[in-house]
Amino acid sequence: MPSQTIKTPCVGLCSTVYGDLVCRGCKRYHHEVIQWNGYSAQAKQAVWLRLEQLLGQVMASKLEVFDAARLRQQLEVRKIRFMPQQSPYCWAYQLIARGARMISNLEAYGLALLPEFRERPLADLRDAIDREFFLLSEAHYERYIAPDFLRMSVGAPLIATCASTT
């Protein structure tokens, strides 16, 4: 496995340059993509954590990681980059994203698909996971981020706006 650390969630498929508010590649918000290099380590960690939680939620609804040590070993042997500090469910995504067309036996990697997904081709499941991760990121943006941007753009103080709804 390469010894260099992964410094950005970018996967080289940025769609924010086309006007998307959430990147279809890395699932960061447009302002996070633009401002990433100016973020503090704490701000970057908050973004990484949100992405990990959302992706973990999607992955846990599709498969089980029953042997994280075996999964990690397989990722290292196959030189698939992953973030060791993240959830094994994020590791599983890296494996499926890189090897969906080549993997025939997920159990060899310490993974088991949940019954309702066992008959789907792994490449189709990978695409469905990516779409669901994007939709979840987009919903999170619309629920928690967009309202603040809208209030800030018209110059209304956030506290006054929130207080006026009670």
Please give the tally of structural domains in the chain.
Answer: 1
User: What span, in angstroms and rounded, lies between the C-alpha atoms of 7 and 87?
Assistant: 17
Count Cα atoms within 13 angstroms, Cβ side, for 99: 18
Q: Which among 58, 59, 35 is positioned nearest to 47, based on CA atoms?
A: 35
User: What span, in angstroms and rounded, lies between the C-alpha atoms of 104 and 107?
Assistant: 9
Asked if the structure places residue 166 within a domain, the reply is: no
Q: Specify the amino acid at residue 125.
A: L
User: What span, in angstroms and rounded, lies between the C-alpha atoms of 68 and 8?
Assistant: 24
Of the candidate ranges 19-23, 85-89, 100-104, 140-144, the one whose mean pLDDT is the lowest: 19-23
Asked if the structure places residue 5 within a domain, the reply is: no
Residue 13 has a pLDDT of 78
Q: Specify the amino acid at residue 46.
A: A
Domain extent for 137: 16-141
Asked if the structure places residue 163 within a domain, the reply is: no
Asked if the structure places residue 156 within a domain, the reply is: no
Instruction: Kindly list the distances between the CA atom of residue 153 and the CA atoms of 13, 34, 146, 147, 164, in Å, as whole numbers in the listed order.
Output: 28, 18, 10, 10, 18
pTM listed for this prediction: 0.84
pLDDT value at 163 more than 70: no
Asked if the structure places residue 42 within a domain, the reply is: yes
Asked if the structure places residue 10 within a domain, the reply is: no
